[in-house]
Structure 1
């Protein structure tokens, strides 16, 4: 007895499995049209014909009843065997009939529709205990009667897909589908999502999307963001916010990102550690060139310690699952605040003081230490679980003492330099004196010869012996005294 070839059998089984996985969704195509239905495209012209041959001298009358019109009501149209409709609108859809007198010749149904756009589905989940929402935008308003469906099934599992009907929201201009998640569902299992949009003019199927419940987490943005100034702290701002109502912090926490910039800056710009020094240098010329972003914050507050003095700041916060699953939420609404300004200080400085340090992921943030989690309010909002460990900013009195000491040191240094400069100048003069300087030399004055006597009043003394002191006596009488 011959055995079936093993490799061929495995190939057939694999082909059947691939075909089954490819058919995870449902056929997507236009709804069937009856023989008396005419399809018209939006903005196009169309001609309706009553009959090929009409008796002579017969008056053909057209009548239309729109889909929104009440039963038994109709609108009288022009006469003739053909009816020309220009620039079709969705409101032109309805039942058109032609008759001669009371005799009905033909009845047609006109549908004005456009083929649907191809859906590009995006699925997300606001928290671990919420349903999955899948949506896709629409460039144009879909035709009346457009139907959108979504199917979900587990990957590599032989089971039927669950079907979900999607709704169109005209204000948001998008389709939204809600998928129920049973409690206890494994959030790491892969799911296959298929979509189809169809109407009378055609059908369009979206590309299958493979997701997991943990990878599509996207919280709502934080709410109640406030920015407050701290008294006697010209470079600090206290930012506070709350958890979104869709996230319950009693079971899972969120981590937050905070970004802030001076109000003249047109947009936010993430600053890396390697660019911070350059940014701060440029900021001396224009504060609007520099904006910072703080990451890895699990508290519902943040103490900004390097704000610009006397400058209005714009602050935003966004959130993500504490374990890093899913995506960041959208940024919260902007909140503004200005640091405290001394009313007696009319010349506030604008020098930046940065108390931030590089983080592991390359962003520039503050160092935080964990502490116990606590409830903030009766609604169960998350308390602060981490606190800043940055060094506190010195008080203005410390700056005054430091400035005075620095000024005194500068004056002392200048005095020492002046004193030593005089000494150096004096020593230089001594080293350059000519020979004989400092001795009192006798210079003849060319005095007139005496007129009274040629004999000098005093004779030259005889040389004395060594070691003896020579004393002379001056005759006061000869001096005229």
Structure 2
């Protein structure tokens, strides 16, 4: 059974002994693989049967008639099929038990619409787009990703990146009002869905959180704490493309958080604090001129104020 999403790009790998059959079917080494959608009605046809009669088995066990299935001559119809009914079906001569044909029934869903997000974490070097499907398909699902700037020719994301679930757009055009267009298409044997997303680079800037955040008491300063941090390691040039920072802090036991925004510095003295109290602090980064959105918060850290 296919329990994981398989993502491929470009040419589909096909065994040399596959014979094409009807839609949703392939034959490998004499075994027919048939694909069906969970919850639908599925009909299996016994090929090579003689006298118009066949006995059906599932995983070598005889199939008993129920209200959810119908046996008509050499065909087997299963109504509102469930994932538990996936398996290897075979039809046999009722008298000799000789197998006429074998069908490996694989069940799943067509892909849902891809949910696409694009962010420039390493501005101004690149944009990274990623995606996920609305649903689990239970079937091998191929992902194809293309992008273009304005009306330029579309470019295809690399196979290696697509397998990892993302696509990096290099050499991005800065300060342009012309959008980029990204198209993600998910395809399996039951269907396909596409999503087209557009963005302006400066509107999707989102730095990673600051790193090496620390807070410590200041000797002989019972109402102050020293907060220090470093710019995100993924931000290419903080001296040229400046960042500003948001500081969120609060004392132990309080639900009231204070917020401070500072520009282009990597330390700050928190003052006016409660003596001997334990304070919690976290920091976020944002593009200096307010393009895009703030980073996620850094991990929360804490320190107690200095006391004799």
TM-score of the pair, normalised by structure 2: 0.72
Match of 1:227 among 215, 230, 250: 215
Match of 2:112 among 112, 117, 129: 117
Name 2:155's counterpart in structure 1: 162
Name 2:36's counterpart in structure 1: 40
Q: 1:296 aligns to what SS in structure 2?
A: strand
Which structure is larger by alpha-carbon Rg, 1 or 2? 1
Contact 1:227 1:240 in 2 (8 A): yes
Q: 1:215 aligns to what SS in structure 2?
A: helix
Name 1:132's counterpart in structure 2: 127
Q: 1:61 to 1:136 in 2, by over 3 A?
A: closer
Q: 1:46 to 1:91 in 2, by over 3 A?
A: closer
Q: Does 1:302 align with 2:268?
A: yes
Shift of residue 337 of structure 1? Answer: 1.2
Encode CA deviations 1:222-242: one digit per residue, 9 max, x unaligned.
112111011121110111111
Structure 2 Cα separation of the partners of residues 89 and 211 of structure 1: 39
TM-score of the pair, normalised by structure 1: 0.48
Q: 1:341 to 1:216 in 2, by over 3 A?
A: same
Encode CA deviations 1:76-96: one digit per residue, 9 max, x unaligned.
342686668796438936x64
Name 2:86's counterpart in structure 1: 92
Q: Does 1:236 align with 2:224?
A: yes
Shift of residue 50 of structure 1? Answer: 2.5
Shift of residue 142 of structure 1? Answer: 3.3
Q: Does 1:293 align with 2:255?
A: no
Higher relative contact order (CA 8 A, sep 6+): 2
Name 1:265's counterpart in structure 2: 254
Name 1:274's counterpart in structure 2: none
Contact 1:261 1:315 in 2 (8 A): yes
Shift of residue 334 of structure 1? Answer: 0.3
More strand by share: 2
Aligned length: 265
Map 1:18-37 onto structure 2 (within 5 A): 33-34=24-25
Structure 1 Cα separation of the partners of residues 85 and 49 of structure 2: 30
Q: 1:339 to 1:202 in 2, by over 3 A?
A: same
Contact 1:143 1:199 in 2 (8 A): no
Mean CA deviation greater in 160-169 or 315-324:
160-169
Q: 1:144 to 1:114 in 2, by over 3 A?
A: same
Structure 2 Cα separation of the partners of residues 306 and 59 of structure 1: 86
Unaligned runs of 5+ in 2: 1-22, 27-31, 65-73
Q: 1:131 to 1:102 in 2, by over 3 A?
A: farther
More helix by share: 1
Shift of residue 301 of structure 1? Answer: 0.9
Shift of residue 126 of structure 1? Answer: 1.0
Structure 2 Cα separation of the partners of residues 230 and 118 of structure 1: 54
Match of 1:193 among 166, 175, 182: 182
Shift of residue 200 of structure 1? Answer: 1.8
Map 1:14-413 onto structure 2 (within 5 A): 33-34=24-25, 38-42=34-38, 46=42, 48-50=44-46, 55=51, 60=55, 62=57, 76-78=60-62, 88-89=82-83, 92=86, 96-100=89-93, 105-138=100-133, 140-155=135-150, 157=151, 159-164=152-157, 167=162, 176-182=165-171, 185-188=173-176, 189-206=178-195, 208-248=196-236, 249-266=238-255, 290-342=256-308
Shift of residue 221 of structure 1? Answer: 0.5
Contact 1:131 1:178 in 2 (8 A): no
C-alpha RMSD over aligned residues: 3.4
Contact 1:254 1:319 in 2 (8 A): yes
Shift of residue 179 of structure 1? Answer: 2.6
Q: 1:303 aligns to what SS in structure 2?
A: strand
Unaligned runs of 5+ in 1: 1-31, 64-74, 170-175, 267-289, 343-481
Contact 2:90 2:103 in 1 (8 A): yes
Shift of residue 107 of structure 1? Answer: 4.3
Shift of residue 292 of structure 1? Answer: 1.0
